[in-house]
Structure 1
Amino acid sequence: MRRNAVRLILAGLVALAAVLTGVAAPAQAAAPDSPAVTYTNPIAEKRADPHIYKHTDGYYYFTATVPEYDRIVLRRATTIQGLSTAQEVTIWTKHSSGVMGAHIWAPEIHFIDGKWYVYFAAGSTSDVWAIRMYVLEGSGANPLAAAWTEKGQIRTTWESFSLDSTTFVVNGVRYLAWAQRNPAENNNTSLFIAKLANPWTISGTPAEISQPTLSWETVGFKVNEGPAVIQHGGKVFMTYSASATDANYCLGMLTASATADLTDPASWAKGSQPVFRTNDATSQYGPGHNSFTVSEDGRSDILVYHDRSYRDITGDPLNDPNRRTRVQKLYWKADGTPDFGIPVADGVTPKRLSSYNYPDRFIRHWDYRARIEANVSPLADSQFRVVPGLAGTGTVSLEATGFPGYYLRHKNSEVWLEKNDGTSGFASDATFYQQAGLADAAGISYESYNYAGRYIRHYNYLLYVQTPSTATDKGDATFYAQ
């Protein structure tokens, strides 16, 4: 009783001191709105330009460019990871002659007004580079078993190289965005947008909203292509791919207000730098031609894209079959803009760990010292792969996303990020038991492998391995995976 009374008095004094000094007391967190997701990359080998669509029937539908460029394939599964092993069905094959007879590229599947639609690009047997956009319509609940009808070519302002059509709805209006060569410009493709009268017919005059003019958009080829749209916080974000389809391939982004006239080029602002690009540390090269989907619980946005696991390509990149489909969580900054981070290493996707006592602060490394901090930039400094423990079964180790082979480890009770030196001492210091959160069982606490009863906790925002005794200690040793 006396001990409890003392704790109450101390808690009151701490709260009073916080008020008098203007320092906010820790705000105990609720479980995050967007919890961590875990996938293992790659999702599919030799599948480029991936598009994953989550339907209301509980299935994910996946289509992508096959390296033979001769057909359209579909898979479905109830989970994103399940797409890796799902049966693949060919729903349409290129024509033996004439239009739609070559270079079958970048299919997307959508469900519109009770029917399935696949958008794709194709060349002709008489001119494989006469790439145009086409649409298939399918009826029935399951598109893998649907009867597909060719709705023909999507007609635009010019009969010129055009591809990568995607459709989306903003404020009840359906739009089409695509890439096309404007004959008046000295580049390969620019981005266009128009309203749709129906799923295969443009309404009105298309608007050109982006040209490849920046240095990172014009390496090898002057390219803006592969538009994809995600909406958040009253904004419309359109990612697109730029430069040649080798290691220089990358993602840029346009931004518009959801209440603006999206067919007015002035409504769109282009970012000055890529939002997603090659990363040597994680061995991911030429990430691009993305789409967006959502996690199984609908609470996380998922970035879908392709890349290669090596930089150097022999010959034309279009003849290299090894672009793979990959996924990872998309995060959102405090200002409401997306944070793509870096293309993560192959294998299990990383997580972020937020503090129970300070919900806006995440575990991160800074000059190799581990701490908690808000608004972490770059994002990868606050992402860790939870991998099997280096020292023992039933344990985990926390590997830095941007520094593969570097792990959180304790030394002299402090937590640092260091490269695995292969010794048993390092392995023990970098290994933890993942326990239910000490302050909230919905969270996580990490108990030291070689010092039982000691946990990773933050104190004055730095991380230590200590024995928690008070409620505050236990809160400091509790984290949520995001």
Structure 2
Amino acid sequence: MTLSRRQFGKTALTTAALATAGVAGFPRAAWAANTAYVFAYFTETPNQSASNYGLHLAVSRDGLNWSPLNQNNPVATPTAGQQGLRDPQVFRKADGTFVVIATDLKGLNFGTTSQYLHVWDSVDLTGFTGYRRLRMHTTTGHTWAPTVFRDNSRGQYGIVYSFNTGGRDVLAVNYTSDFQTVGAQQTFFSPSFNVLDGDIVVDGATTYLYYKNLNDGLLYGARSSTGQPNSFTTYTSGLRIGNAIEAPLLLKTNEGGWRLWGDSFSPVNNDYYLWTSSNITANAWTAASQRDYTPPLNSKHGSIAGITDAEYNVLVSRWGLPSWVRLKSYNLPDYFVRHANRVGRIDPYPFDPHREQLWRMVPGLADANGVSFEAITAPGNYLRHNNYAIRLDPNDNTATFRADATFHRVAGLADGNWTSFRSHNFPTHHLRHQGYVLRIDPVSASSSAADRQDATFRITS
């Protein structure tokens, strides 16, 4: 078992199928036309200072760059079992409502096992009702990383999870019609090697299962024409980015393409890596640039479901978007702007104290048309340049300080879809990193590509 169980789940019920005349007797659903995404997760940081084992939510229009809701605080917390969760999956049922199901495990105590999974019901994820635990088996084996899919041939849902029996790691399944009771445990996928973290998407007549091979540490895809236990055949080669990876998430996007997420559990790398493909039937995945995606702050082993525009808006209205921003480096996209010992710099995410990367972006102190960056951890302290170096200093309300702490947003010098920050009182100078330390320098469209990339950032959550 690896030290982190982080899995993006997904809405495995095929909305295209539901949109047609009534899979399993269900009528066409208004939510079939999803335009956005919701992400359920728990949080951890390298030294555990910001770890929280409740249910967290984030939203995104593109499913790549995420905004945590409720200021990245939990929206629900288990009150039974180990009173904490990991690996939550948010899954849309055939009636259009949601179920959330998660591992009964708090913290890093992986030697503790549970026979149960946490479960909540929700109409639209603005509230959670019917909290309960489902007992999946009666053995001493673990019950980790649940994923849900609709088995139309049975008219039931399959709950697949990582299970250990006789020293072997396999994927087990229990079937249910209502998430109130489950049938007997069955072995779902048990090849000649140990496996972990299954993730399932049903697409038309094919059921896809992506998993981690514990023997070689790589992610693989398998498929079945029936979706029944022990019917899957592996059809892809192994995938990995970085030193280690786990928890594959196979997602069919709202637009019809495919994404495969893999979770890095190295504390010095971005939490997730991403591959994309236009053809799920082929062994053809392309690694995406980390510039293209930003997972929710400190998120671990979560799940993604498609939502409608109306559902996106009601979630934002209920829980609220972040009151802070982060600044992501263009040419080092796993690095974020932070303050450390009052010096402005960029460092690889994740890091502690994690709040040193959070900023209130306020109207410019010297010009309301510009912006200034106030540290969340030190109210009244702002990023400012002093002899061209960027520092975090308290606002003394002098004209010099206000000007030093004011920047103007312009199109990114390396990429117009990103942002560069021009100094208010040195208008030929832009904020940039050099040797990981922030400063202002004369950078323009005619500067070298390296300089322009150093001066380009993404404003994100």
Q: Residue in 2 aligned with 1:261?
A: 281
Q: Residue in 1 aligned with 2:198?
A: 165
User: How far, CA to CA, are the matches of 1:412 and 1:261 in structure 2?
Assistant: 57
Q: 1:402 to 1:417 in 2, by over 3 A?
A: farther
User: How far, CA to CA, are the matches of 1:104 and 1:228 in structure 2?
Assistant: 21
Structure 1 residue 273: deviation in Å? 5.4
**Which structure ranks higher in relative contact order (CA pairs < 8 Å, sequence separation ≥ 6)?**
2
Q: Residue in 2 aligned with 1:120?
A: 161
The answer on 1:419 being equivalent to 2:359 is: no
Q: 1:208 to 1:419 in 2, by over 3 A?
A: same
Kept after mapping to 2: 8 A contact 1:228/1:290: no
Kept after mapping to 2: 8 A contact 1:80/1:296: no
The TM-score, its normalising length taken from structure 1, stands at 0.49
Q: Residue in 1 aligned with 2:247?
A: 225
The answer on 1:293 being equivalent to 2:305 is: yes
Q: 1:298 to 1:119 in 2, by over 3 A?
A: farther
The TM-score, its normalising length taken from structure 2, stands at 0.51
Q: 1:166 to 1:247 in 2, by over 3 A?
A: same
Matches within 5 A, 1:339-378: 348-350=320-322
1:407 pairs, out of 348, 358, 361, with: 361
AA of the residue aligned to 2:192: E
Give the secondary-structure state (helix, strand or coil) at the position aligned to 1:179: strand
Worse-superposed segment, 249-258 or 401-410: 401-410
Number of positions where the alignment pairs a residue of Structure 1 with one of Structure 2? 298
Q: Residue in 1 aligned with 2:231?
A: 202
AA of the residue aligned to 1:53: F
User: How far, CA to CA, are the matches of 2:359 and 2:173 in structure 1?
Assistant: 46
Q: Residue in 1 aligned with 2:187?
A: 153
Q: 1:229 to 1:120 in 2, by over 3 A?
A: same
Q: 1:180 to 1:379 in 2, by over 3 A?
A: closer
**For structure 2, which runs of at least 5 residues remain unmatched after alignment?**
1-34, 37-60, 78-83, 106-111, 337-354, 383-393, 398-407, 412-418, 423-460
Kept after mapping to 1: 8 A contact 2:137/2:185: no
2:135 pairs, out of 92, 103, 125, with: 92
User: How far, CA to CA, are the matches of 1:51 and 1:66 in structure 2?
Assistant: 12
Structure 1 residue 132: deviation in Å? 0.6
2:69 pairs, out of 39, 45, 52, with: 39
User: How far, CA to CA, are the matches of 2:268 and 2:99 in structure 1?
Assistant: 28
Give the secondary-structure state (helix, strand or coil) at the position aligned to 2:168: coil
Quote the RMSD (CA, aligned, Å).
Answer: 5.0
Kept after mapping to 2: 8 A contact 1:365/1:417: no
Structure 1 residue 94: deviation in Å? 3.3
Q: 1:208 to 1:122 in 2, by over 3 A?
A: same
User: How far, CA to CA, are the matches of 2:276 and 2:328 in structure 1?
Assistant: 31
Kept after mapping to 2: 8 A contact 1:48/1:64: yes
1:74 pairs, out of 119, 128, 133, with: 119
Kept after mapping to 1: 8 A contact 2:224/2:231: yes
AA of the residue aligned to 1:198: G
Q: Residue in 2 aligned with 1:61?
A: 99
Q: 1:210 to 1:407 in 2, by over 3 A?
A: same
User: How far, CA to CA, are the matches of 2:261 and 2:170 in structure 1?
Assistant: 21
Q: 1:234 to 1:228 in 2, by over 3 A?
A: closer
1:106 pairs, out of 145, 148, 159, with: 145
**For structure 1, which runs of at least 5 residues remain unmatched after alignment?**
1-31, 302-326, 329-346, 353-362, 368-374, 382-400, 430-456, 464-481
Q: 1:151 to 1:104 in 2, by over 3 A?
A: closer
User: How far, CA to CA, are the matches of 1:91 and 1:293 in structure 2?
Assistant: 22
Runs (4+) of structure 1 exceeding 6 A deviation are 35-38, 274-279, 363-367, 375-381, 424-427, 457-463
User: How far, CA to CA, are the matches of 2:295 and 2:278 in structure 1?
Assistant: 29
Kept after mapping to 1: 8 A contact 2:220/2:238: yes
AA of the residue aligned to 2:210: A
AA of the residue aligned to 1:152: Q
Give the secondary-structure state (helix, strand or coil) at the position aligned to 1:209: coil
Kept after mapping to 2: 8 A contact 1:193/1:207: yes
Kept after mapping to 1: 8 A contact 2:89/2:147: yes
Give the secondary-structure state (helix, strand or coil) at the position aligned to 1:122: strand
Over alpha carbons, which structure has the higher Rg?
1
Indicate the percent of aligned positions where both proteins have the same amino acid.
12
User: How far, CA to CA, are the matches of 1:123 and 1:189 in structure 2?
Assistant: 19
Q: Residue in 1 aligned with 2:16?
A: none
Kept after mapping to 1: 8 A contact 2:85/2:103: yes
User: How far, CA to CA, are the matches of 2:247 and 2:256 in structure 1?
Assistant: 24
Give the secondary-structure state (helix, strand or coil) at the position aligned to 1:211: coil
Give the secondary-structure state (helix, strand or coil) at the position aligned to 1:293: strand
